[in-house]
């Protein structure tokens, strides 16, 4: 899936939802390229990881889909539903807590 996949695997949903929160609507390939650009190539999401995650989010009512014809092809765009907007806020809050706890756990403890 990605570099250091075990560390990132649990964050894929949050990454997708955060990007959709910021960009309004996106199609799958656009999501993979945006992640690659933001992380300067450090993080690559494969289609095999992305599309099952998108389909699950859609099935859970967190994403809605729009089709648009682009260059004679149907392109599938994803957008957060109102439930998805709320869930994104919750996920980001959880992630911030997780990061804060991990930083506390891994930084050297100078109080011996």
pLDDT digits (tens, 9 = 90+) for 40-69: 988 889 889 999 999 999 999 999 999 999
The residue extents of the domains of the chain are 5-102
* Tokens matching residue 29: 């390939």
For tokens 């099935």, name the residue. Answer: 59
Place of tokens 């907007």: 85
Question: 63 with 57: CB under 8 angstroms?
Answer: yes
| Consecutive H or E run containing 45 | none
pLDDT 10s digits, 77-106: 999 999 999 999 999 999 899 889 988 888
Q: Domain 5-102 class?
A: mainly alpha
Decide the pairing of beta strands 73-80 and 63-70. Answer: antiparallel
Rounded to two decimals, the pTM is: 0.84
Contact assessment for residue 32 and residue 47, using Cβ atoms and an 8 Å cutoff:
yes
């Amino acid at each position: 899936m990605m570099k250091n996949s075990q560390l990132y695997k649990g964050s894929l949903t949050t990454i997708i939802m955060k990007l959709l929160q910021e960009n309004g609507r996106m199609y799958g390939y656009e999501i993979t390229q945006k992640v690659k650009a933001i992380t300067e190539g450090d993080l690559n999401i494969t289609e095999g990881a992305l599309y099952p995650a998108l389909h699950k989010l859609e099935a859970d009512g967190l994403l809605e889909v729009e089709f648009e014809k682009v260059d004679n092809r149907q392109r599938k765009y994803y957008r957060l539903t109102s439930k998805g907007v709320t869930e994104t806020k919750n996920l980001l809050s959880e992630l911030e807590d997780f990061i804060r706890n991990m930083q506390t756990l891994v930084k050297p403890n100078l109080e011996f």
